Amino acid sequence: VYTSPEIFRLEQQGLFSREWLCVGREADIPAAGDYFLKEIAGRSIIVMRGKDAKVRAFYNVCRHRGAKILDEVHGKCPGRVLCPYHAWSYNLDGTLLAVPQASDDLNKESLGLVPVRLESHQSLLFVNQDDDAMSLAQYLADLPDLTRFRIPELVCGKRLEYEVEANWKLLCENYSECYHCSGAHPQLHRITESITRGERQQEIGACFNGGPMRLREGIETMSMSGKSRLPTIPGLTHDDCRYVHYYVIYPNILLSPHPDYVLIHTAWPRSPGRTEVICEWLFTKEAVSNPDFDPSDVIEFWDMTNRQDWALCERTQLGVSSRGFRQGPYQPAEDCVHTFDRWYADKLAAML
Ligand code: FES
Ligand code: FE
């Protein structure tokens, strides 16, 4: 499952074309005509805000002779979407606007851009290419209530993209355990502790699994210094300020609420052995609007930790690609890895 092109194709069709996938946030495209492109399962999708302020998604494919329309990954269409081939144009809601030298019997109503389902949760935008899939609200029904982290009000203070030479599932598995932390992340280990079994509650639902880690005494957040130089998310409880939560939301979101910021990774499989990762740090408005806003303490911490993790994933990709690879037994600290793998195994069984 980590190396086979056959399995990769199955996943692209059976998972990434059928599940709800988080592609961005409402705030990424604040004004009419703002858009971004996302490539999912080999198909380019436009996510755009209309004149009515509604966000919609369409395949990035012209209804005339099928040219790809937009190229800029993040941009703005001033009032219309124009195909560069024969200049058919579309309104911001995807309907066909104008066709040069059109035949008299052209039925414009039936020639809008092909829509992709788009729904939003806590201002996170999700798309799903399967018209028969359950609604996003149903899909996320048992996700823990994270409203106290105020994700819709937070502002993206930093975004980093990584290319990792490893299968996307190795990234999800690696995120799901801290069994490797004491050896591989000395800086992280210095500031958080895994919670002992029994004390710790693994949280499990149909669409996610995860668990908390406790900040050590005197540590305020996950940063190089262990201190928080940024305002805490208002309204958090004492406990919220002592723990960092880690959730894998299937298939590819890694969501980590901290006392003073929320970290979101999304992992995008590009081949069996290559994954693109987008990592965003969301801070309070108060923090970002401060002229002295300096998130480097937390960015540096997570960028370093990310790179340590990607190196482990790449090392594992090399190992699992060998004919000498035999899967070993999960250890107690890997219960979340096991839960993820069982979710995946069920999905894979249904695809075969
Ligand atoms: Fe787009 Fe012809 S393919 S206008
Ligand atoms: Fe790690």
Residue with tokens 């959730």: 247
How far is Cα 197 from Cα 126, in angstroms, rounded to an integer? 34
Provide the CA 30 distance to its chain's centre, in angstroms: 19
pLDDT tens digits, residue range 307-347?
999 999 999 999 999 999 999 999 989 999 999 999 999 99
Q: What dihedral angle (degrees, nearest 10) is formed by the CA atoms of 248, 254, 255, 258? A: 110
- Mean pLDDT computed over 226-247: 93
User: Which pLDDT value is given to residue 201?
Assistant: 74
Please name the residue whose Cα sits nearest to atom 4 of ligand 1.
Answer: 86
What integer pLDDT is reported at residue 199 of this predicted model?
A: 63
pLDDT band at 172 (very low <50, low <70, confident <90, very high): very high
Reading phi first (left if > 0) and then psi (alpha if -120 to 50, else beta), residue 166 is in: beta
Distance in angstroms (rounded) separating the CA atoms of residues 63 and 72: 19
Distance from Cα 96 to the centre of ligand 1, integer Å:
12
pLDDT of 237 = 92
Question: Mutate which of 58, 68, 71, 83 to test ligand 1's pocket (most atoms within 8 Å of Cβ)?
Answer: 83
Q: Does 65 sit in the ligand 1 pocket, CB within 6 Å?
A: yes
Q: What's the mean pLDDT in 101-116?
A: 97
| Confidence band, pLDDT 50/70/90 cuts, at residue 196 | low
**Could you tell me which of 245, 236, 234, 248 has the C-alpha nearest to residue 285?**
234
Q: Residue 200's pLDDT band (boundaries 50, 70, 90)? A: low
pLDDT in tens, 238-296: 989 999 999 999 999 999 999 999 999 999 999 999 999 999 999 999 999 999 999 99
How many A from CA of 288 to the centre of ligand 2?
27
CA–centroid distance, residue 102 to ligand 1 (Å): 12
Q: How far is it, in rounded angstroms, from Cα 326 to Cα 195?
A: 29
Ligand 1 atom closest to residue 86's alpha carbon, by position in its atom list: 4
Computed over every residue of the chain, the mean pLDDT equals 96
Handedness of CA 280, 285, 286, 291 (dihedral sign): positive
Buried b (16+ CB within 10 A) or exposed e, 221-234: bbbeebebbbebbe
- Nearest residue to 281 via CA among 249, 258, 250: 258
Percent of the chain with pLDDT over 90: 94
Ligand 1 nearest-atom number relative to CA 88: 4
Calpha distance 22→249 (Å, rounded): 10
Q: Which pLDDT score is estimated for 272?
A: 98
Structure tokens at 61: 């494919």
Average pLDDT over residues 298-313: 98
What's the mean pLDDT in 32-59? 98
Please tell me the distance between residue 91's alpha carbon and the centre of ligand 1 in angstroms. 15
Amino acid at 176: S
Instruction: Give the H or E element holding residue 277.
Output: strand 274-283
Give the range among 86-90, 117-121, 135-139, 210-214 with minimum mean pLDDT. 210-214
The alpha carbon of 101 and the centre of ligand 1 are apart by a number of angstroms equal to 13
What does the pLDDT read at residue 225? Answer: 94
Q: Supply the residue whose CA is at minimum distance from atom 3 of ligand 1.
A: 65
* 198 pLDDT higher than 60: no
| C-beta separation of 85 from 114 below 8 A | no
DSSP 200: B
Tally: H helices and E strands in the chain: 8, 18
The pLDDT assigned to 211 comes to 85
Residues 231-244: what's their mean pLDDT? 93
Torsion of CA 70, 76, 78, 81, to 10 degrees: 20
Q: Name beta bridge partners: 163.
A: 276
